[in-house]
Every structure is written in C-alpha cells, then in structure tokens.
Amino acid sequence: MPPWGPTKRRVLIGGLRKLGFEGPFSGGKHEFMVKRDLVLTIPNPHRTDIGPELLGLVLRQAGISRREWERV
C-alpha cells in the first residue's frame, strides 16, 4: 500500500480484499465489506481521496494496524 496518507477509495478496497475482506456490497447510504463477523462501512469521499484521519478510523474499525496496512 502507499505510505500513510490520502488514499484513493479503490486502493482502500483493494487493500482490504488482500487482508481478507469480501465485497464491497450495497447497503443503505454506503457500501460495506465483510470479514467473518465484522461488517465494515466503506466511505464514499465523492471524487476526492480518503484523508489520513478517515483512513485511520476505517482501519481501526477493521482491526488493522498502520504497519500491517503499509505491508500489504
């Protein structure tokens, strides 16, 4: 993955797939990805990159450390 920082949505989805998540699937207002019992909402930044703060929040909810993310 790229270094910690702004990330494109498709890069986030690709990285999550490499880490065992399935999807994205359609749901309410946002798509989501699934890994066993964990359901993770995927942000939709509307044509902009996902900022480092939001990236950190999503990865914390997924149980993925920064180090693990950068190794993918």
**Domain ranges in the chain?**
9-71
Query: Which of 12, 17, 65, 22 lies closest to 43 in space, CA to CA?
Result: 12
pLDDT band per the 50, 70, 90 thresholds, residue 28: confident
Average pLDDT over residues 28-52: 92
Whether this model's pTM surpasses 0.85:
yes
Residue 65 has φ and ψ, to the nearest 5°, of -80, 160
Does the pLDDT at position 66 exceed 70?
A: yes
- Give the model's pLDDT for residue 72: 82
pLDDT band per the 50, 70, 90 thresholds, residue 1: low
- Superfamily (CATH) of domain 9-71: Hypothetical protein. (3.30.920.30)
Average pLDDT over residues 61-66: 94
